[in-house]
Amino acid sequence: MSVFKINRRLRRASLGTLLFFAASFAAPQQHTLNIDDTGQVIKKHRVHHVKVGAKVTWVRQSGPANSWYVKFDESPCAEGGEYGSDRAKTCTINVACKAKGDAACKAYSYRSAIGATASMQDPTVVVDP
């Protein structure tokens, strides 16, 4: 095999690797936060860090068909402040957080429950630059 063919194959492999990593960094982050049967976000998800453009979804840990409800008082989400199994399910983080110290780079508290009239809990989503 000639040196030219080897170099061409290496360039193709390098380009493919570069495109793969560029696409994975450009794609929005997907976050799934689990709510237990009492309406609380499970312990490891109660304080969750995200970046602008990330997509957050909640599901019931005991099964995706079970009901859940989330309400932000001040929402970082493009879709509004209320989410649930019977309404909008995905929150797209849409705030002006570009650098540490920006006003929007903060924790956004919300309440979670198994339904809109159930007892509410208090986890947070932290938006990082």
What confidence score (pLDDT) does residue 41 get?
Answer: 93
Q: What is the pLDDT of residues 15-71, one digit of tens each?
A: 444 334 433 445 579 999 999 999 999 999 999 999 999 999 999 999 989 999 999
Q: Taking the C-alpha atoms of 36, 129, 23 and 75 in order, what is their torsion angle to the nearest 10 degrees? A: 50
What confidence score (pLDDT) does residue 9 get?
Answer: 53
The pTM score is: 0.74
Question: Does 28-128 carry CATH code 2.60.40?
Answer: yes
Domain range annotation of the chain: 28-128
**Structural tokens at position 74:** 């001040």
